[in-house]
Amino acid sequence: MTIQILGLPQDNNGSYMSGPALAPARIREALHSDSANMFTELGHDLGNKTLWADAGNVLLDGLSGQTAFDAIHIAVVKLLAEGHQLVSMGGDHSVSYPTILAHAKAHKGLNILHIDAHGDLYDSLLDNHFSHATPFARLMESGLISRLVQVGNRTLNTHQRQQAKRFNVEIHEMRDLSGVPTISFEGPVYLSLDLDALDPAYAPGVSHFEPGGLSTRAVLDLIQNFKGNLIGADVVELNPHRDPFGMTAMVAAKFLKELISRLLIESGVHPAIP
Ligand SMILES: [Mn+2]
């Protein structure tokens, strides 16, 4: 089994701006930038290319709706069937629906830890059932998700509160957080990380600025310390049009590194220098 990073360059399900289709390339640049070394905080040297691999991008040029969904779903199902674990890079958040659905089919009783400023629980938005505001409604409708736990939400409206109630979503709203919440799961966990969960002060390179968010440190703390068996993850919604200095790409790359490191630890690959 290898841990693979996978680019999902799609942004035609955004509701406000395009740009996230350009994100995988920017995140790779940040990841390999000479400005930092390849060690993770958890102690792995990701410069060691036996620890992980890059699966490239799913080809999504010109695809939208069901055809884009199918292309992503088929690619993820194939990589999982080959025994790989994935950390995907969006893309707008719509890419998480086909990706997590594939994981849910491979891991019975899958839980989701969803870190986001938004619930992404709309039944549809702008007449689009694949909108980046809907993936977690689609996933809960599948009946394959055991628990959906959200952290960082600060945009709930009446419709999304109703949807959250309908799907028994557990929400750690931003206004109730003092510090990092303790979150525990039984069984497999997929972590879906929307960069707009962070306060725009920490991560301005996103389409939807939503003040009052998480710090970079708080998200790293969640990645490193939530209780449960991490089996896959994605980092989505980087918008390079709003990231001229690559600051937010660096934040995304940092999260990617720590996610890979946690997956390595859980698959028994412990760092040489803990
Ligand atoms: Mn989102």
pLDDT in tens, the chain (274 residues): 699 999 999 999 988 989 999 999 999 999 999 999 999 999 999 999 999 999 999 999 989 999 999 999 999 999 999 999 999 999 999 999 999 999 999 999 999 999 999 999 999 899 888 999 999 999 999 999 999 999 999 999 999 999 999 999 999 999 999 999 999 999 999 999 999 999 999 999 999 999 999 999 999 999 999 999 999 999 999 999 999 999 999 999 999 999 999 999 999 988 866 5
Interhelix angle 247-266/216-225, rounded to 10 degrees, is: 10
Q: What is d(CA 117, CA 194) in angstroms, rounded to the nearest whole number?
A: 8
Q: Ligand 1: distance of its center to the CA of 84 in Å?
A: 25
pTM of the entire predicted model: 0.97
Q: Ligand 1: distance of its center to the CA of 66 in Å?
A: 19
Q: What is d(CA 134, CA 125) in angstroms, rounded to the nearest whole number?
A: 7
- Residues near ion ligand 1 (Cβ under 5 Å): 93, 116, 120, 194
Q: What is d(CA 183, CA 228) in angstroms, rounded to the nearest whole number?
A: 8
Q: Ligand 1: distance of its center to the CA of 13 in Å?
A: 11
Q: What is d(CA 269, CA 264) in angstroms, rounded to the nearest whole number?
A: 5
One-letter identity of residue 103? H
Nearest in space to 72 (alpha carbons), one of 234, 238, 190 = 234
Q: Ligand 1: distance of its center to the CA of 194 in Å?
A: 5
Write out the two tokens for 171: 């929400």
Q: Ligand 1: distance of its center to the CA of 86 in Å?
A: 19
